[in-house]
Structure 1
Amino acid sequence: MTLSIEWIDERDGGAGAREEQWIDLLEKLLQIAGPKEEITVGVVTLTLTDDEGIRELNRQYRGLDKPTDVLSFSLLEGEEPEIHYEDEYEASEEGDEEWKDEDKASNPFANLLGDIVISVPRAEAQAQEYGHSLERELGFLFVHGFLHLLGYDHDDAEQEKEMFAKQEEVLKEAGLTR
């Protein structure tokens, strides 16, 4: 297994050719950012939504009743998440060759890194406001969210400087400059 993105488009009208190109770009960014952080295996779930969808999540999980650009929900931080799944995912007693790691064989969620949710309308508005492409803004938000999944934050000036330098390094390597 390698690093990959599982994505969902919750917006009215769903995904089209434009979004398919975005996912290719975001996969590329994941392949750059992951190894820089010594992450080479895992799944990131990406949800594209609208301002109302992200506002609801922001209210529910952060107590802020307003839209935002990106939210991250890590499965790596803190205590082990209590995840329940049906027995159909249990490892086969017959020694199914597909599973190489017995600890992960009985847990289909073992390689999940977490969820990133991006508001496409926010990304569009911010791209215009900052004078760069939508692709660059989506890339910025995705890498920002990915670093949050790994535990990075920007609560103070030092943390912000470190996190934003890492983001810019990945974006520059991918050719997404301002």
Structure 2
Amino acid sequence: MIIDFLNEAGSANEESLQLVEDVLQFVAKKEDVAELAELSVSFVTNDEIQEINKTYRNKDTVTDVISFAMQEQGEGEVAVIGEQPLLLGDIIISVDRAVEQAADYGHSIERELAFLAAHGLLHILGYDHMTSDEEKVMFAKQEQYLTEFGLPRSLGSSENA
């Protein structure tokens, strides 16, 4: 999978960017995403993500991650068209919010960024958490993938992105 990063907040360091890329590639492989698929990941501030949330979701609040899928498929399905790169969509992560949540959950900023990136990619791939059943499936997958990758949840943390 091809990943384009925009570090607009300027606060995600090279190690964090590499970890997020590695996690996204890992999740993409687990979900059988085509190698030619393309994904955009932007790191922004709380103010920027609040404006995006207000503009596109009519929610005037800060959030941690927003995903915009370009291909609407079923759960875990991605359409592939010939040999052309397929634009999956955009993941937008508030680095400010990730720092706050990492402190709240008692784990590293890197683990939080990886969690938010995996969460965003699963949304793009058609997973959701609007119902209890959907939430169980999506959250189990993201926890399984992060644990397999080597970033298990810290004891005592409860993530509900």
* Structure-2-length-normalised TM-score: 0.84
Structure 2: how far apart are the matches of 1:27 and 1:123?
16
**The residue matched to 1:151 in structure 2 has which SS?**
coil
Which of 81, 103, 120 in structure 2 is aligned with 1:145?
120
Structure 2: how far apart are the matches of 1:5 and 1:31?
9
Amino acid in structure 2 at the alignment position of 1:159: E
Amino acid in structure 1 at the alignment position of 2:87: L
Structure 1 residue 39 and structure 2 residue 33: aligned?
yes
Which of 58, 80, 88 in structure 2 is aligned with 1:113?
88
Which deviations, in whole Å up to 9, do the C-alpha atoms of 1:118-171 show, x marking residues without a partner? 000100000100111111110110000000001110001110010001101111
1:130 corresponding residue in structure 2: 105
Which of 50, 67, 71 in structure 2 is aligned with 1:76?
71
Structure 2: how far apart are the matches of 1:49 and 1:70?
10
Amino acid in structure 1 at the alignment position of 2:105: Y
User: How far apart are residue 28 of structure 1 and its match?
Assistant: 1.3
Amino acid in structure 2 at the alignment position of 1:123: A
Structure 2: how far apart are the matches of 1:128 and 1:10?
22
Structure 1: how far apart are the matches of 2:24 and 2:107?
21
Percent identity of equivalent pairs: 45
**The residue matched to 2:13 in structure 1 has which SS?**
helix
Structure 1: how far apart are the matches of 2:30 and 2:149?
13
Which of 157, 160, 164 in structure 1 is aligned with 2:132?
157
Q: Which runs of 5+ in 1 are unaligned?
A: 79-99, 105-109
Structure 1 residue 19 and structure 2 residue 13: aligned?
yes
- How many correspondences in the alignment? 144
* Structure-1-length-normalised TM-score: 0.76
Structure 2: how far apart are the matches of 1:115 and 1:147?
12
Which segments of structure 1 move beyond 3 Å, counting only runs of 4 or more?
Answer: none
User: How far apart are residue 4 of structure 1 and its match?
Assistant: 2.5
Q: Which runs of 5+ in 2 are unaligned?
A: 74-81, 155-161
Contact between 1:4 and 1:30, CA under 8 Å: does it hold in 2? no
Structure 2: how far apart are the matches of 1:25 and 1:74?
22
1:5 corresponding residue in structure 2: 3
